[in-house]
Amino acid sequence: MLESTSAKESIGSDVALHGGSDHRLGRRIQRGLAWSLSFLVPISTLLYGTVHPWPRVGVALAAALAGAVGIAWAGRRGGGLPRGLGVSLALGLAAGVVALLDYVPVGADLRRMAQPAVAGPVLEALALAGRGDRARALALDPGRGTVELASYLAMVLVVGGTAAVVRNRPRARRLALMLVATGVGVTVLGLVQRWTGATRVYWFTDVPLRSSRPFFGPFVNPNHAGTLLAAVAPSALALLHDRRSTVQLAGGIGGLVVLVGALACGSRGAVILLAVGVLVSLALTGGQRVRVAITFLLAAGLFSALFIGPVKVADWLTRSLDPAQ
């Protein structure tokens, strides 16, 4: 009887020890995934300035792998992904599947139906090349389309993996600080390049000859820089609600620097995206009065833009943000 009891106690202690070891291992793996996903944005932004595709491809593959591992790990540990995350991933991957239709070979009639604006020149070019009677992929540039589709799918996996792994306050704070720091770095680099009259990204990487607008930071296209800065702004607002005063200060200063960068890069879309992102963030974190005020502002802005005219508004933004155009 005593031997049986001691054997059961030994088995129980072994199970508890094994379970605790697995739990600690799981925490270490999850922590490593969270750190890896948090560093993706600054690393990919840094390498974007090389203008060469292979560093970007390497980062995209690493990002997709980290995101996929994060999704698989969270699904296995928690008995399944949260419903909202699962629906978002399903919709994102479904959009990627729909994009595969661009690679379906089509004839002349279907091309005219699907691409009425460019079907004529494309069919003429195919006829001159002696391939007008063959079915060709709907995509005008299948190679470039493949790269863009792969980047999109990697982005879906990164977003899903980050949402699956970064699920507590310290990790969310660290991710937000990483994003804001990246935006601040892009802004500072872009302003220093402007002030020093730099003609190369990082002062040594050539800019493509076809580029007609001044680059900003590591981005040859200032619209890309503006999009990043606009996406970072809500994270700066989120840091203002943190319990730590130092984090609040970092969010406030970082938000102001990001705002300066969005205005200085000369992208019209960046200003619009930043304004929309800030208003949506305020609506999500504010009370009923804040939501009503934001709804009124959005309606008034839309009515004013329609009354003045979208073309005039776009011209005014262009003259204000980029007078050289």
> Would you state the pLDDT for residue 16?
46
CB 205, CB 49: distance < 8 Å:
yes
Q: Is there a domain that residue 127 lies in? A: yes
- Give the pLDDT confidence score for residue 247 in this predicted structure: 94
Quick one: average pLDDT of 239-265? 93
Q: For position 187, what pLDDT does the model report?
A: 95
Higher pLDDT, 274 or 52: 274
Place of tokens 């995101």: 67
Answer yes or no: is pLDDT of 299 > 60.
Answer: yes
pLDDT at 2: 44
Alpha carbon distance 12, 115 (integer Å): 68
Tokens of 241: 């609600």
Highest-confidence segment of 78-87, 90-99, 207-216: 90-99
> Is this model's pTM higher than 0.85 or not?
no
Give yes or no: residues 89 and 100 share one domain.
yes
Q: Which residues have C-beta within 8 Å of that of residue 111, sequence separation ≥ 6?
A: 119, 122, 123, 136, 138
Q: What is the pLDDT of residue 298?
A: 81
Which structural domain range is residue 200 located in? 168-325
What per-residue confidence (pLDDT) applies to 78?
58
User: Are residues 174 and 151 part of one domain?
Assistant: no
- Residue 246: pLDDT band (50, 70, 90) is very high
Least reliable range by pLDDT among 108-122, 170-184, 251-265, 266-280: 108-122
How much is the pLDDT for 10? 52
For the chain, the domain total comes to 2
> Based on the domain organization, do 42 and 179 belong to the same domain?
no
Residues 72, 151 share a domain: yes
Closest C-alpha among 154, 163, 164 to residue 92: 154
Report the pLDDT value the prediction gives residue 61, as an integer from 0 to 100.
Answer: 81
- Classify residue 282: in a domain, yes or no: yes
- What confidence tier does 137 reach under pLDDT thresholds 50, 70, 90? confident
Question: Per-residue confidence at 56, pLDDT binned at 50, 70, 90?
Answer: low
pLDDT for residue 319: 66
User: Do 121 and 214 sit in the same domain of this protein?
Assistant: no
Residues 303 and 245 in one domain: yes
Per-chain mean pLDDT for the chain: 80
pLDDT at 17: 47
Of the two residues 270 and 79, the one the predictor is more confident about is 270
| Alpha-carbon span 120 to 127, nearest angstrom | 11
Q: CA triplet 184, 177, 298: central angle to 5 degrees? A: 75
pLDDT of residue 15: 45
Q: Is 185 within the bounds of a domain?
A: yes
Closest CA to 163 of 229, 31, 74, 63: 74
Report how far apart, in Å, the C-alpha atoms of 314 and of each of 212, 213, 317 are. 19, 17, 5
Buried b (16+ CB within 10 A) or exposed e, 267-300: bbebbbbbbebbbebbbeeeeeeeeeebeeeeee
The 3-state secondary structure of the chain, one letter per residue = CHHHHHHHHHHHHHHHHHHHHHHHHHHHHHHHHHHHHHHHHHHHHHHHCCCCHHHHHHHHHHHHHHHHHHHHHHHHHCCCCCHHHHHHHHHHHHHHHHHHHHHCEECHHHHHHHCCCCHHHHHHHHHHCCCCCCCEECCCCHHHHHHHHHHHHHHHHHHHHHHHHCCCHHHHHHHHHHHHHHHHHHHHHHHHHHHHCCCCECCCECCCCCCCCCCECCECCHHHHHHHHHHHHHHHHHHCCCCCHHHHHHHHHHHHHHHHHHHHCCCHHHHHHHHHHHHHHHHHHCCHHHHHHHHHHHHHHHHHHHHHCHHHHHHHHHHHHCCCC
Q: What is the pLDDT of residue 114?
A: 79
- In the chain, the N- to C-terminal Cα span, in Å, equals 91
Q: Quick: pLDDT tens for 151-200.
A: 788 888 888 888 888 878 888 899 999 999 999 999 999 999 999 988 88
Mean pLDDT, range 235-255, rounded to an integer = 93
What is the model's pLDDT at position 86? 84
Q: Identify which of 180, 253, 175, 264 has the alpha carbon closest to the alpha carbon of residue 217.
A: 264
Tens digits of residue pLDDT in 26-47 = 678 778 888 888 888 888 888 7
Q: What is the pLDDT of residue 209?
A: 62
**Mean per-residue pLDDT for 55-82?**
77
Asked whether residue 148 falls in the same domain as residue 248, the answer is no
**Last residue in a domain, options 148, 167, 186:** 167
Q: Please say whether the beta carbons of 228 and 189 come within 8 A.
A: no
Comparing CA positions, the residue from 82, 64, 230, 66 lying closest to residue 156 is 64
Averaged pLDDT for residues 266-270: 83
109 in Cβ contact with 74 (< 8 Å): no
Q: What is the band of 238 on the pLDDT scale with cuts at 50, 70, 90?
A: very high
| 157 & 276 share domain | no
Q: Which of 167, 185, 208 is the last residue of a domain?
A: 167
